[in-house]
Chains A and B, each alone.
Chain A
Amino acid sequence: MGLTLADAIASPEIADRECQWTLNFGPQHPATHTTLRLILNLDGEVILKATPDIGFLHSGFEKLGEHLDFNQYVTIVDRMNYVSPVANEIAWHHSVETLLDIELTPRCKMIRVIFGELMRIHDHLLACGAAALDLGAFTAFLYAFNQRELINDINEWASGQRFHPSYTRVGGLQRDVDDAWINRVRSFLKGFLPAHADICRLLNRNRIFIDRCRGIGVLTREEAINRSVTGPVARASGVVRDLRKNRPYLAYDAIDFNVVCAQEGDCLARYLVRMEEMLESHKIISWAIEHLPGGPVNSDVEERMVLPNQLSVYRSIEGLIHHFELNMSNRKWKPPVEEVYASTESPNGELGFYIVSNGGPEAWRARTRPPSFIHFALFPHLAEGHTVSDVAAILGSLNIIAAELDR
């Protein structure tokens, strides 16, 4: 056995300090929200050293990805970042479709954009609400969760599932959306702006909240790049990088929006970037829902990548054969014996999948590039030198989702 956790905690340069003590934080603690553990070496209240210990939620998702086919695995990626499930599905199928070289229909692209942005709002509402909750501002959290509830309803209306919709499919969607769904999105958009303004009024000039966030956990631009940080955490440190602009996927190249950045790199900047990104997402959805193209949601059925609809399965021999081919375990897709990395801008940062294919319907290797995992590696760097009470602020601003952290 090589190095262990005990070696990591017992660091010789701080071991001889008499006033030093060790605090175990988690794995179950209200401020961790999920299951992660920190071991803090403290001098009084000051953190000398923080050692994260993770893996409590490790459930072999990537191993399962090698045994489930491209459509089945979507139910697992759902459960990685369960705060923005459809964003994970979009990322997974984006990689699969890159591997299989499938071009989506315009309607499917736009629906995926709308879902992707709804998930961004959903995720940021939790991140900002929970960050405020950990610092004692309970009301903002409730206002945020009120809006998240409406997005869960939108998920349910489209897919039949509130929390883990499993909505995307290879080359398309589980089913098309209807007018009632569009009206639900419209009414959500109408109610969201006042709710967002309420949260801003509760927090943006809140003396306690600002005092506990400003100047805490500062991440410089150089360190952000050096430590592979992406998404809102990187943008709050001045890294102007958004995959929706840098390498546009889906219909993002046709949509006008701004990339929100800040310079400070502290917890307050990360909160403000997320709040502002929600308004940009609101703008994107408002445009997209009024410019939703008609036509089918599934790409060309003739290519035998997408499940045919029920009518053609029951009424035509081609549809029946095709359906059979895509459901028998020894048929399904025949991707090239190749490997591909493709990524999307998920609410938390770059979410990519590296798929190695051996030509079968299951991936040989389905590597997830999980933003939470990379952001949590930052924690010791951000926390050292601050006090115990800042742990909650820093954890809240990084938005660590343990299911994605451990997979």
Chain B
Amino acid sequence: MTTTQTPPVIPATHEPLLAVARSVAGEDGVTVSVFRDNVRFHVVPGKVLAVLKNLRSECGLDMLIDLSAADYLNYPGAANRYGIWYVLESVSSGLRVIVKTWANDPEPRLDSVFDVWRGADWMEREVFDMFGVVFDGHPDLRRILMPDEFVAHPMRKDYPLRGEGERHNFLALSREQS
């Protein structure tokens, strides 16, 4: 989603990472953008798990710093609805890269990285809870912040900040039942 047309200048430290990502996902499977000190690899959704696995095993990016998503509904220039990012870092060298991918309605789905990093466990559950993106292969994909009986995904852009609320959707529990 960059506005500039000139190809981005990739820092020399990230060249080997890009080579690994491209060897897995192909030349067209990865595009790069650079903003401030953030280097981002945009990977096609089908290849993202393989790219992440290889970045971990071959490039030493052993820590998943962050995993989250945004809803790009009506965002200027956006082609896909959900963008999901993985911020990776190497503990020994401090090298950091952001892998971005996307998902779309009606059934936003991605492969889970639970088996690559256990840290992804709750982060993927939060994305599922807030955006409704389903992570295939996650063993315990439950809602995490919202209650189980909640039906909507509140961080989506079409979920209003204010409204009638959700109280009517919850069961009233009497003192005898509790």
The interface of chain A, by Cβ under 8 A from chain B, is 1-5, 7-8, 54-55, 58, 60, 62-64, 66-67, 98-99, 101, 223, 225-230, 239-241, 246-247, 336-343, 350, 352, 354, 356, 358-359, 364-365, 367, 369, 373-374, 376-377, 406-407
Q: How far is the CA of A397 from the CA of B38 in the complex (A)?
A: 33
Per-residue contact bits, chain B 92-105, to A (CB 8 Å; 1 contact, 0 not): 00101010000000
Contacts of A373 in B (CB 8 A): 122, 126
Q: Quick check: is B161 within 8 A (CB to CB) of the other chain?
A: yes
Q: Quick check: is B107 within 8 A (CB to CB) of the other chain?
A: no
Check B117–A226 contact: CB distance below 8 A: yes
Check B142–A4 contact: CB distance below 8 A: yes
Least distance between A54 CB and chain B CB atoms (Å): 6
Selected from A7, A225, A228, A354, the residue in CB contact (under 8 A) with B68 is A354
Q: Quick check: is B118 within 8 A (CB to CB) of the other chain?
A: yes
Known contacts A60-B154, A364-B75; decide if A340 and B38 are in contact (CB<8 Å).
yes
Q: Which of B3, B75, B85, B119 has the most CB of A within 10 A?
A: B119
Least distance between A338 CB and chain B CB atoms (Å): 5
Main secondary structure of the interface of B (DSSP, over half): loop
Contacts of A341 in B (CB 8 A): 38, 66, 85, 87, 98
Check B62–A54 contact: CB distance below 8 A: no
Q: How far is the CA of A283 from the CA of B143 in the complex (A)?
A: 44
Closest residue of chain B to A247, judged by CB? B94
Contacts of B20 in A (CB 8 A): none
- Interchain Cβ contacts under 8 Å between A and B, 8 examples: A54-B145, A55-B145, A227-B118, A230-B65, A337-B76, A339-B38, A342-B36, A367-B70
Check A352–B35 contact: CB distance below 8 A: no
Check B62–A63 contact: CB distance below 8 A: no
Q: Which of A336, A350, A377 has the most CB of B within 10 A?
A: A377
Contacts of B96 in A (CB 8 A): 247
Q: How far is the CA of A367 from the CA of B86 in the complex (A)?
A: 12
Check A228–B77 contact: CB distance below 8 A: no
Check A356–B155 contact: CB distance below 8 A: no
Per-residue contact bits, chain B 25-37, to A (CB 8 Å; 1 contact, 0 not): 0000000000111
Main secondary structure of the interface of A (DSSP, over half): mixed
Check A336–B3 contact: CB distance below 8 A: yes
* Contact residues, B67-118 vs A (CB, 8 A): 68, 70-72, 75-77, 83, 85, 87, 91, 94, 96, 98, 117-118
Contacts of A58 in B (CB 8 A): 145-146
Selected from A98, A228, A239, A369, the residue in CB contact (under 8 A) with B36 is A98
Q: Which of B3, B66, B85 has the most CB of A within 10 A?
A: B66
Q: How far is the CA of A365 from the CA of B68 in the complex (A)?
A: 10
Q: How far is the CA of A2 from the CA of B146 in the complex (A)?
A: 13
Check A225–B65 contact: CB distance below 8 A: no
Contacts of A364 in B (CB 8 A): 70, 72, 75
Q: How far is the CA of A358 from the CA of B74 in the complex (A)?
A: 10
Q: Quick check: is B15 within 8 A (CB to CB) of the other chain?
A: no
Least distance between A380 CB and chain B CB atoms (Å): 10
Q: How far is the CA of A62 from the CA of B70 in the complex (A)?
A: 11
Closest residue of chain B to A101, judged by CB? B36
Selected from B76, B118, B123, B145, the residue in CB contact (under 8 A) with A359 is B76
Selected from B75, B117, B121, the residue in CB contact (under 8 A) with A358 is B75
Known contacts A58-B145, A367-B70; decide if A352 and B65 are in contact (CB<8 Å).
yes
Contacts of A377 in B (CB 8 A): 119, 121-122
Per-residue contact bits, chain B 142-171, to A (CB 8 Å; 1 contact, 0 not): 111111110000110000010000000000
